[in-house]
Structure 1
Amino acid sequence: MASSLTKDSASTPGFEKTFFGHPRGLATLFMTEMWERFSFYGMRALLPLYLIAPGGLHMDGATATAIYSVYLSLVYLLAMPGGWFADRFWGPRKTVIIGSAIVILGHITLALPSAGSFFAGLGLVALGSGLLKANISTMVGHLYKGPQDPRRDAGFTVFYIGINVGGFLAPLTIGTIGENVNWHFGFALAAIGMALGLVQFLLGSRHLSPESDTVVKPATKQERAKALKQSLYWAIGAAVFYLIVVGTGHYTLNWILVPLSVIGLVIPVLVLARMKRDKDLTDDEQSKVSGYIWFFVVAAIFWMIYDQNGSTLSIFGEESTTNTLLGFHFPTSWYQSLNPIMIMALAPVVASVWLWLNKRGKEPSTAVKFASSLVLMGISFAVFLIPLIDTATNGGKVSPMWLVAIYFVQTVGELCLSPVGLSVTTKMAPAKYTGQMMGVWFLAVTAGDSITALLSTAGVNLNTKGAVGVEVLIAVAAGLGFWTYRNKVKKLMGSVS
């Protein structure tokens, strides 16, 4: 038996190199995504802390949460045009290369010591991540022999571990340097991480499926010209509008945050409605789109609460926890390594459980897994209420173990939804929207984070007992409601389970 991660039996007819029993290309995508997530999660761990720090931009918590949420919503919103560019112009492989280069440029821009370059850098990272994210997940799907390949769900779970290896290492390195040495040095280290990811992708891309180079529906010359013209119109219109707002002295940050948040809610609705009206889809594809909308809504609610672990919970960690354990004091950004390390510990266990149950015909349906994720998310914020009540009643700071407990429950919920959601999206995607459908999945994150951003810009303090209590009720009620309608959803899914 080979000692490496891959089994080299290429000399035996009918066999090929594998990565933990999966196609060899999964190793390439695993490592590329690991480094991309290293850069992304490192910057994300620093972002809200830099925004509120006296040595950073020194903003209030609500504004920092709004900026953080809008940024995340943009990353996932831009995954939709990222899939479209792959389908119509470049193909997934080329789109990932271009996106990676833009992310590197964005992190370099973030490292420059000025507020203007900081926000420009955020925009570039969001753009590059949008081009990369949907397409690298789509390429994982290309490695398998159709939706019914029994390795498919497990393959996405292995891929998900790669995401979390990068996510675990990033706060411990980028976060430590950013908080303890220099914020902008931390952002520069994120650029190095993404550069390593791009190099690894270029070296290992020969192991990917030839399908990853395919432009599903190449744009005609007229369509290219129309897309360029429309983009210029929108850019000029936005520039004129903001020049007027700034020139008349009415500009505030909310003139950016609120429109982007509204866009993050409107576009997912428009995209799903467009698919439902598409007469090119077969009856079976239309049924699957209808079923997919249910999963989309559940995912949006899930991410609305879950993504507060980097804003609401991070700010709580900075202001209301001791950040000391067994006499050791650690930076606040280290909390962001809790979820990834728990994912790495629990993901193989959960994947094995699904396979074990599947062999016995008892694996829960995708709908049941999604419903469970929402209930668990509600439980995590019910746990959050306890330290919130304690700090409000007694003052002072609480043990960091409260955040450890919250992240543990959220991690179990995430494993019931996120890798399963990636897989079911590739299974239910209409042929016409192969690349774009993964972008649609990420629009659920956009919708959830946009709701958080709108609440924050409206002045809602999400670190209060009332706000957290309402989110508990929403998550549990939605989870139980989806479980009640699971059979209806399963019927709409057709052959997909």
Structure 2
Amino acid sequence: MISTSEASPPGRTFFGHPWGLSTLFMTEMWERFSYYGMRALLAVYLAAPVSEGGLGFPTSTAIAIFSVYLSMVYLLTLPGGWVSDRFLGPRKSVTVACVIIMIGHFLLAVPTEGFFFAGLFFVAVGSGLVKANISTMVGHLYQGALEWRRDSAFTIFYMGINLGAFFAPLVIGTIGQKVGYHLGFAVAGVGMALGLVQYLLGRRSLSPHSDLVPAPLDAAQRAALVKKGLLWLLVPVVLYAVVVLSGHYTLNWVVVPLTIIGLVFPAWTLFRIRRDPELTVPERQRMTAYVWLFVAAAIFWMIYDQGGSTLNIFAAKNTDTTFAGIDFPSSWFQSLNPLFIMALGPVFAWLWQWLAARHKEPSTPAKFAVGLILVGLSFVVFLPALAAAANGNLVSPLWLCAIYLVQTVGELCLSPVGLSVTTKLAPEKYGSQMMGVWFLAVTAGDCVTSLASLAGANLDGRPFVVAEVTVAVVVGLVILLFRKRISSRFVGHH
């Protein structure tokens, strides 16, 4: 048994946890504040007329850019983890990431299209680097006798994520829509700057393990990497130089290749892992089951992430933003999801434990199926709102509230379960990489949305919404039907 003295962290504490948790909590809260604040404005800014301070892109182009940007944030978690493992270590990686994100937001604040897209690139790179490392650093605080506090620590840490995500649209969204989009982006940069200062001031409270580079490259490996990197970089530089100088460059020369990469890379990664000859037969069977769940997750995120694009633009253009006599910016709708998560997350945690104690907890595939069906049904709620807005009418904000509520319940059934099952089904060889593979489901789903937009699909049109509902519900029902067969392949997981 662990004694009280062994189980308690030494020195200053944060809700009974090591003080380092407060440093990471506040850093993540400010990073998420900057990220979700910018995200709440992004699609609206892209689609807003130039006369209103936006870029004036067609809705389909705005959704495609938003979706590709989101997909790259999650795709870049893989190289973000690699950079930490081979070059910088987690602590330095997060420092560099915060600086890159801050620069990105301030570039977004410059009222020039070129600076804007450069800013998106910086924020995506920095966000990928943060996501790959900051959760790892939380884990580093809980070694030995403090291991039993780990789950509680992550609960507190994720509250920081949702607090930042909740307040960001209320602050940054209001400034962006009521004063000016670029000032809103600048405030996001200030938020990240506060997070960086707080992180640097509290860096001594972090675990020494976070300073270590797990598998550093030697001099020869670094030289070879630089040589290969420059050669690979030369190819797109020459290609795009030719395209620009010949006068053929359009935005699609960036969006389309990134969309294709975001679809091909996840498929190739799963195929490569599944066909690895070093995998045992049980591991290969578990990966087959995982592919089912991965596809379900990709479909889920395809619909869910339109909350920041399709639904966000619908809120700005077609929704009455007055309620009980209060006039509010449409970006405030983006605060609903984190609010619902904070309210319902503890309820679901209790519910699963209550059902498990009675041997009635649904299986992982069943939870996935429910989550997928719910996100499909959320767009069933979207259909009457679309019909009501067909003649230029402003619809009640309660429609969007209902959609986001149903989506959040679906998220709580699928997302935490997906993180858990990924660690359970991961082959031994790929144990440290599989969390990045899980994030690729978001990349794949968002790139499907981008591809549909680029192909000319009207994402807020009735036919496409009905198609999305059908795909989500049918795939959810299929997984529900075959849940026992899928679960049988989980046997023997570590």
TM-score by length of 1: 0.90
- Amino acid in structure 2 at the alignment position of 1:485: F
The structural deviation recorded for 1:433 is 3.8
Residue correspondence of structure 1 range 98-117 to structure 2 within 5 A: 98-117=96-115
1:73-84 matched pairs, under 5 angstroms: 73-84=71-82
Local SS of the residue matching 2:7: coil
C-alpha contact (below 8 Å) 2:101/2:127 kept by paired residues: yes
* Alignment partner, residue 172 of structure 1: 170
Partner amino acid for 2:471? I
CA spacing shift, 1:204–1:480, aligned 2, 3 Å: farther
Residues 1:179 and 1:478: Cα distance change in structure 2 (over 3 Å): same
Task: Indicate conservation of the 8 Å contact 2:298/2:442, yes or no.
Answer: yes
Would the alpha carbon gap of residues 251 and 127 (structure 1) be closer, same or farther in structure 2, given more than 3 Å must change?
same
Relative to structure 1, is the Cα distance of residues 19 and 295 closer, same or farther in structure 2, using a 3 angstrom cutoff? farther
The superposition leaves residues 169-219 of structure 1 with CA deviations (integer Å, 9 ceiling, x where unpaired) of: 001111111111121111111112222223343444556555544444333
Matches within 5 A, 1:20-39: 26-39=21-34
Q: 1:154 to 1:371 in 2, by over 3 A?
A: farther
Cα–Cα, structure 1 residues 154 and 284, in superposed 2: closer, same or farther, change >3 Å? farther
Match of 2:192, SS state, is helix
- Where do 5+ consecutive residues of structure 2 fail to align? none
Moved more, 290-299 or 343-352: 290-299
Select 2:236's aligned residue among 235, 238, 241: 238
- In the TM superposition, residue 490 of structure 1 has moved relative to its aligned partner by 2.6
Structure 1 residue runs of 5 or longer lacking an equivalent are 1-9
2:44 paired with 1:49 = yes
* Offset of residue 360 of structure 1: 3.4
Provide the residue aligned with 2:489 in structure 1. Answer: 492
- Deviation of the 1:284 alpha carbon: 5.2
**2:291 alignment counterpart:** 293
**CA positional deviation for 1:57:** 0.9
Bigger shift: 15-24 or 478-487?
15-24
Cα distance in 1 for partners of 2:367, 2:212 equals 33
Q: Which amino acid aligns with 1:326?
A: A
Change (3 A) 1:209 1:290: farther
Query: What's 1:6 paired with?
Result: none
Mapped to 2, the partners of 1:408 and 1:468 lie a distance apart of 18
Cα distance in 2, alignment partners of residues 110 and 218 from structure 1: 34
The amino acid of 1:45's aligned partner reads A
Q: Could you report, residue by residue, the CA deviation over 1:353-386 in whole angstroms, capped at 9, with x for unpaired residues? A: 2233333333323222211110110110000011
Give 1:165-314 correspondences, 5 Å limit: 165-205=163-203, 211-281=209-279, 285-314=283-312
1:471 matched residue in structure 2 = 468
Give 1:80 shift: 1.1
Of residues 361-370 and 121-130 in structure 1, the stretch that sits farther from structure 2 once superposed is: 361-370
Secondary structure, in 3 states, of the residue corresponding to 1:237?
A: helix
Aligned counterparts of 1:341 and 1:467: Cα–Cα separation in 2: 29
Q: Distance in 2 between matches of 1:312 and 1:92?
A: 35
**Contact 2:80 2:130 survives alignment (8 Å):** yes
Q: Paired residue for 2:366, among 365, 368, 372?
A: 368
- The corresponding residue for 2:389 is 391
Query: C-alpha offsets along residues 331-370 of structure 1, whole Å, 9 cap, x if unaligned?
Result: 1111111111111111111112223333333332322221
Report the residue type matching 2:25 in the other structure.
F
Letter in 2 for 1:316: F
Amino acid at match of 1:274: R
Per-residue deviation, residues 284-316 of structure 1 (Å, max 9, x unmatched): 544443333222211111110000001100111
Aligned residues with identical type, % of pairs: 60
Are the equivalent residues in 2 in contact too, given 1:52–1:64 (CA < 8 A)?
yes
* Structure with greater contact order relative to length (CA < 8 Å, sep ≥ 6): 1
Moved more, 131-140 or 230-239: 131-140
Could you tell me whether the CA contact under 8 Å between 1:161 and 1:343 is conserved in 2? no
- Supply the AA of the counterpart residue of 1:422: L
Mapped contact 2:282–2:492 kept (Cα < 8 A): no
* Equivalent in 6, 20, 26 of residue 14 of structure 1: 6
- Map of 1:324 onto structure 2: 322
Verify the 8 A CA contact 1:375 1:476 in the aligned structure 2.
yes
Query: Which is worse superposed, 281-290 or 191-200?
Result: 281-290
Distance 1:205 1:429 in 2: 32
Against the structure 1 CA distance between its residues 101 and 460, is the aligned structure 2 distance closer, same or farther, given a 3 Å change threshold? same
Contact 2:259–2:450 at 8 Å: present in 1 too?
Answer: yes
Task: Decide which moves more: 483-492 or 171-180.
Answer: 483-492
Partner of 2:405: 408
Q: Is the 8 A contact 2:8 2:16 kept in 1?
A: no
Distance across 2 between alignment mates of 1:366 and 1:34: 30
With 135-144 and 263-272 compared, the bigger mean Cα shift is at 135-144
C-alpha distance in structure 2 between counterparts of 1:218 and 1:430, whole Å: 23
| 1:93-140 C-alpha deviation (Å, 9 max, x unpaired) | 332222122111111111112111000000000011111112223444
Structure 1 CA distance for aligned equivalents of residues 375 and 153 of structure 2: 25
- The farther-off stretch of 262-271 and 30-39 is 30-39
Q: Is the 8 A contact 1:35 1:166 kept in 2?
A: yes
Q: CA RMSD in A?
A: 2.6
Aligned match of 2:454 in 451, 457, 460?
Answer: 457
Query: What does the per-residue CA deviation read over 1:428-462, in whole Å, with 9 as the maximum and x for residues that have no partner?
Result: 44454444322211111111111111111111110
How much does 1:37 deviate? 0.9
Amino acid aligned to 1:329:
D
DSSP-derived class of the 2:6 partner: coil
For residues 35 and 150 of structure 1, the distance between their equivalents in structure 2, rounded to whole angstroms, comes to 27
- Go from structure 1 to structure 2 and tell me whether the alpha carbon gap of 1:218 and 1:280 turns closer, same or farther (over 3 Å shift): farther
